[in-house]
Amino acid sequence: MTAMIQAQGLVKRYKEVTALAGLDLEVPEGTVLALLGPNGAGKTTAVRCLTTLLRPDEGSAVVAGVDVLADPTEVRRRIGLSGQYAAVDEHLTGFENLTMVGRLYGMGKKQARERARELLERFALSDAGDRPSKTYSGGMRRRLDLAGALVSAPPVLVLDEPTTGLDVRARQQMWDVIRDLVTSGATLLLTTQYLEEADKLADDIVVIDHGRAIAQGTADQLKAQTGGERLELVVAEAHEVDTATRLLAGVAMGEVQRDERTLTATVDDGQAALARLLADLRDQPVTVLEVGLRRPTLDDVFLALTGRVAEADDQSPEAHEKQQEVPA
């Protein structure tokens, strides 16, 4: 299988921050790779390097068979990018936005218009197609932006945090749209802060932190590494914590994490462990406020991989990069 995206040793430094510290990536044709990491991990910087928006300080990248540094224009012909900040012109209608993009891809007027109508239809924007896009909801704007990335039906698609900031319903819709794209055979690189999203959409996941890949694998492999489901218990009184910890440890695979009166542990078979814990709790003088199972989150993955919580620091490379874009 040929790699449609291949990056080697990408490095990008800003004054005090190293946004990318030697990132390697490989996305085989027709597959979906999710770049998973907290804010400031370097996801957006990686995307910008691969889509010719940013020139890496070191390293090389080949996208759709073309060297990103040697022939950026040719790369732009072969990719579609949908960014974190919907790149649509708010004064233009959806139709005008897409027609403009088509024209800039070199299509004739008629072809660009037909393609615009087709995409509006496909993304359920036909009714809103002739309204200025500033009247759109967040989800509609993202869909329009994604439609913009698809105008030339590019073989490689790059989606930077496609659902960040969307509500649950809009996120579900976006996932459906992305799944459709994948079935039609596109190669896709997407970045996300949500393990669930990577799990739902991607074949392969690369976890990045401080501009470097710290783990790679399928969602299942990562979860196995992270330890599957979590059993969480909240008790009412501080003096009950010790007893509760002992009971939870009895059904857990590993150590019990304590945070005030909240206890968390990794469990193997969640349902069985929960049933056993509840049975054990019945005869004990412990007041349970909450108890339940949850799937591992990005925080859990991070905790397992790095031993620390995934926290976005204010000096994130992304925030830094924004300031850098318009030099004073």
Partner 1 sequence: MSATKALTDGWVVAQRNVIKIKRVPEVLVFVLISPIMFVLLFAYVFAGAIQVPAGVDYKEFLVAGIFAQTVVFGATFTGAGLAEDMQKGIIDRFRSLPMSRSAVLVGRTTSDVVYNVCSLVIMALTGLLVGWRIREGALDALLGFALLLVFAYSISWIMAWVGLIVPSVDVVNNASFVVIFPLTFLSNAFVPLEAFDGVLKTIVEWNPVSSLTQASRELFGNTGGQPPPSEAFSMEHPAVYTLIWSALFVAVFVPLSVRQFKRTSK
Residue numbers at the binding site for partner 1 (CB under 8 A):
51-55, 73-74, 76-77, 79-81, 83, 85-89, 91-92, 96, 100-101, 103-106, 132, 145, 148, 325-328
Instruction: Considering the complex, state which of residue 95 and residue 302 has its C-beta at the smaller distance from partner 1.
Output: 95
Give me the least distance between CB of 97 and partner 1, in Å please.
9
Instruction: Considering the complex, state which of residue 151 and residue 213 has its C-beta at the smaller distance from partner 1.
Output: 151
Give me the least distance between CB of 280 and partner 1, in Å please.
54
| Bridge partners for 266 per DSSP | 230
Instruction: Considering the complex, state which of residue 143 and residue 230 has its C-beta at the smaller distance from partner 1.
Output: 143
Give me the least distance between CB of 135 and partner 1, in Å please.
11
Tokens of 47: 């995307």
Give me the least distance between CB of 39 and partner 1, in Å please.
18
Give me the least distance between CB of 101 and partner 1, in Å please.
7
SS3 per-residue string spanning the chain: CCEEEEEEEEEEECCCCEEEEEEEEEEECCCEEEEECCCCCCHHHHHHHHCCCCCCCEEEEEECCEECCCCHHHHHHHEEEECCCCCCCCCCEHHHHHHHHHHHCCCCHHHHHHHHHHHHHHCCCCCCCCCEHHHCCHHHHHHHHHHHHHCCCCCEEEEECCCCCCCHHHHHHHHHHHHHHHHCCCEEEEEECCHHHHHHHCCEEEEEECCEEEEEECHHHHHHHHCCCEEEEEECCHHHHHHHHHHHHHHCCCCEEEECCEEEEECCCHHHHHHHHHHHHHCCCCCEEEEEEECCCHHHHHHHHHCCCCCCCCCCHHHHHHHHCCCC
Give me the least distance between CB of 78 and partner 1, in Å please.
9
Instruction: Considering the complex, state which of residue 258 and residue 320 has its C-beta at the smaller distance from partner 1.
Output: 320
Instruction: Considering the complex, state which of residue 81 and residue 219 has its C-beta at the smaller distance from partner 1.
Output: 81
Q: What is the CB neighbour count within 10 angstroms for residue 80?
A: 25
Instruction: Considering the complex, state which of residue 145 and residue 318 has its C-beta at the smaller distance from partner 1.
Output: 145
Give me the least distance between CB of 242 and partner 1, in Å please.
53
Q: Are 292 and 278 in contact (CB under 8 A)?
A: no
Instruction: Considering the complex, state which of residue 81 and residue 195 has its C-beta at the smaller distance from partner 1.
Output: 81
Q: Are 45 and 81 in contact (CB under 8 A)?
A: no
Give me the least distance between CB of 34 and partner 1, in Å please.
20
Instruction: Considering the complex, state which of residue 133 and residue 316 has its C-beta at the smaller distance from partner 1.
Output: 133
